[in-house]
Structure 1
Amino acid sequence: MASQEVQLESTIGGFTARGKLHTLSVWFILALRVMMGLAFLQSGLDKVLSGSFSAGGYLTGAVPNNGGPAADLFVAMGNTPWFVDFVNIAVPWGEVFIGLGLVFGALTRLAAFWGAFMMLLFYLGNWEIEHGYINGDFAYMLVFLSVAAFGAGRILGLDAYIERYEIGGEPLVERYPWTRFLLG
């Protein structure tokens, strides 16, 4: 079977970028999705199973000492007991569910969005710019956004099946177009 060359093109603000995907691109997109899924799943499970995760000290101690632009916000969050209780649940379980979504390719865009959001918060919280503004947290945020942009859940993932699930004789994404923001 001959492979087709896939062209990419996007115009933003009057500037157009064009490119061609390599035939191996699909495997690298899949690898990014699974890698980030496993990383988040492992990190979340470690926190959940240890039962000792607490964000309070990090929010009020570590963040203000690194001089980040959002340090005051993080300290305010760390000094709000109900918010710390929320974060103590949201971070570990969020990592678990983001990881599962990516590993299985289910609700991939939703999982990647929340993964990118968490990485943005980690980027601001772990502020270290001595070697430039790009660090691992920033790079991971871009990987999550790439996974979402490429619709990586359709590559050996459950999203390919969920999108085709028929409701009233038509595929889910045709009947409910907004689901494209969650799946793919």
Structure 2
Amino acid sequence: MITWLRHSKVAMWLLTVLRVYLGFQWASDGFAKLTGPKPFDASGLIMGAIKHPVTDPTGAKAFPWYDWFLNTFTNHGHATAAFSFLVSWGELLVGLGLIFGTLTLAASFFALVMNFSYLGAGVVSVNPTYIILGGILLISGFNSGKIGLDRWVTPFLRSKFPFLNNDIQVD
């Protein structure tokens, strides 16, 4: 299956449709946060995650490391401006990267980071679906961005930064 996702022309076209769909979802969410009537504020989400962490059936914290992370990097929920900025711009940039097929693998990776962060905060919503779709794009490697700007960007970056070269054939 992975070989088919990474090398098939049929998979390349299906991945393009999947990539553009997921990119549109991310970009529209980010754009709405940036251009809404009032600035996006992640403090409610963060405070909710700090006060009511996700627990397992026994009542123990399911993600103690994430609770520690939120408490530490938001000063117990009192400094959330950086997260508000990162969420808004992160969603928009991930979406644009996926739509245009530019740095597709990086965009897919950071989309997954955001999805898992939302899950760690207790927000289920569309995140499991986005995780599956983003995971497929990430597993598919270069083939997920071939019909897009990655056709030119990836070979250029690999020529300038040799450490980006790997054993995956770039046609």
Task: Give me the TM-score of the superposition, normalised by structure 2.
Answer: 0.73
Higher RCO (Cα < 8 Å, 6 or more apart): 2
Segments of structure 2 that go 5 or more residues without pairing to the other structure are 56-61
C-alpha spacing 1:36/1:49, structure 2 compared with 1 (3 Å): same
Offset, 1:74: 6.7
User: Once the two structures are aligned, what percentage of the paired residues are identical?
Assistant: 23
RMSD: 3.2
Secondary structure at 1:24 match in 2: helix
Matches within 5 A, 1:41-56: 41-50=27-36, 51-56=38-43
Alignment equivalent of 1:70, drawn from 63, 67, 77? 63
Query: Which structure has greater strand proportion?
Result: 1
Report Cα offsets for 1:25-58 as digits up to 9, x if no partner: 2222111111111000000000000142111111
Quote the Cα distance in structure 2 between the aligned partners of 1:29 and 1:63: 37
Q: Work out which of the two has the higher radius of gyration on C-alpha atoms and give 1 or 2.
A: 1
Paired residues in the alignment total 154
Are 2:115 and 1:144 equivalent residues in the alignment? Answer: no
Quote the Cα distance in structure 1 between the aligned partners of 2:70 and 2:33: 22
Judge conservation of contact 2:94–2:110 (CA < 8 Å) in 1.
yes
Quote the Cα distance in structure 1 between the aligned partners of 2:48 and 2:133: 29
Segments of structure 1 that go 5 or more residues without pairing to the other structure are 1-5, 10-18, 129-134, 166-171
Q: Give the equivalent residue in structure 2 for 1:3.
A: none
Judge conservation of contact 1:59–1:74 (CA < 8 Å) in 2.
no
C-alpha spacing 1:178/1:98, structure 2 compared with 1 (3 Å): farther
Secondary structure at 2:3 match in 1: strand
Matches within 5 A, 1:19-30: 24-30=10-16
Alignment equivalent of 1:117, drawn from 113, 117, 121? 113
C-alpha spacing 1:179/1:52, structure 2 compared with 1 (3 Å): same
Task: Give me the TM-score of the superposition, normalised by structure 1.
Answer: 0.69
